[in-house]
Structure 1
Amino acid sequence: MAEDWDSLIILDACRYDTMCEVLPTEWPSPKKVISRAGNTHDFYHANFDDGPYHDTVVVSANPRPSQFRPNAFYEIVDCWDRCWNEEYGTVLPDVMARETRRAHEEFPNKRVLAHWIQPHYPFIGGEGELADYPADQESIWHDLHRNRIDPDDAYAAYRDTLETTIPHVQSVLEEIDGKAVVTSDHGNAFGEGPWWYPFPVYGHPRNVRTPETVEVPWLEFDCGPRRSISVGEPIADRDAVAGETVESRLEDLGYV
């Protein structure tokens, strides 16, 4: 939060090297930065426990901000609650693009932190068999551990999902003002792991820090005149979210 930005787009679980693979030619080269955490749970504690940040509006497709830091921000827009796509088991990037633009219009004097799901599972890009991985499976990461899925196929679906998402990010960058940053909360492993770890690492398990889970991109964009940012009293006093809807969303995202 100490970095200089008016808008921050977090692409959940986006690896630095994968961003380099699909980077649009008109985008700047990303810096490689090290996240404070290798998973979203720890990311929100590591970055926002010293708040509050009442100059910032969060637009989130992930329930984690409302679970862990419900009163840290001026407002949280819970896209995971009202914009969920039941067919895909996620919030799609075109919807997040719309909601991110809407937040910029509604809160012109606030920083906007938009937490998108993609390229995080469930994968939505490409035409391979994992582009529509069956939602009734226990977990894609468990299936990878049990050799039911080829890690190369999983990575291809993940990469395609990021490539599918980038045009929607570009559409936001073309319509907002100020300094924007595109980054990620953490990365994602597809069988890599440290020499001392007894198993291949898949996904982003807690307490396992590898280059694949903590090296993330940081891209800066000049989108026009800077926004005039001000601090304000939060719109509402919020309780931490819990319940069946939250658990269902997290299960769809592969957390359970």
Structure 2
Amino acid sequence: MPDTPSRSHGRKSITASLAPRSLIDGNPRLAGVWRAQVITLLPQAFPGVLGESLTGRALKDGLWQLDAIDLRPFGEGKHRNVDDTPAGGGAGMVLRADVMGRAIDHALKLAPAGAPLIYLSPRGTPFTQAMAQKLADGPGVSLICGRFEGLDQRVIDHYGITEVSLGDFVLTGGEIAAQALLDATIRLRPGILGNEASTEEESFSAGLLEHPQYTRPAEWQGHAIPEVLLSGDHGKIGQWRRAQSEALTRARRPDLWQAHLAAKHGTDE
């Protein structure tokens, strides 16, 4: 039975479907709300940590929404097989193109217009704060969580899927990566953190690592808070924090430091 067209009633939109839908039972789809869709063999893994703290509160309040789309019901045959052996031989199994294609087609019917389709893959473009901000500024995102040896390349080519990597390492599946990507993105949405200024000085927001942070007590185990932070002179505090960010970036991330210098010189010119 194919999905029937959706109907919008104010913020709520209704879509009839036999396929798995909303992550939260009884949670209506809200029109115009930033929405994440995750195609996964482990729908029970969501929302996971995203259901806690500020992101969880925002999810409950309808500031963003999440659908975990179970890949298994789109599988082949009596046992709903989703994978097969690699063409040309080799170890492991590969997610089938026809199975994933059906899941993606279902997801695209429910996705907000303009939401990108991303496959979490170790060979993808490295995920950055800038990418998180771009996703946060959009209508939402649809994510594909790989398993086994990965996804049939024809699916990636056919749908023009963007591959994104969290780093130079390999996980057993894309679920943890998907949650990390969503956490980094959702926290940048308006109203999620409560204090919008809290994202302005953190690591990567200005191309530098964040300066050290301190709080009470003023002295602990013989270590005191730097005096400048207790001076009340916001100009000097800002200068100190900037100098600390630059020193940390230069020492720990020479790649970021070189990019910062290049951008600075480009601006000066």
Larger RCO, structure (CA 8 Å, separation 6 or more): 1
TM range, smaller chain: under 0.3
Looking at CA atoms only, which structure, 1 or 2, has the larger radius of gyration?
2
TM-score under structure 2 length normalisation: 0.26
TM-score under structure 1 length normalisation: 0.27
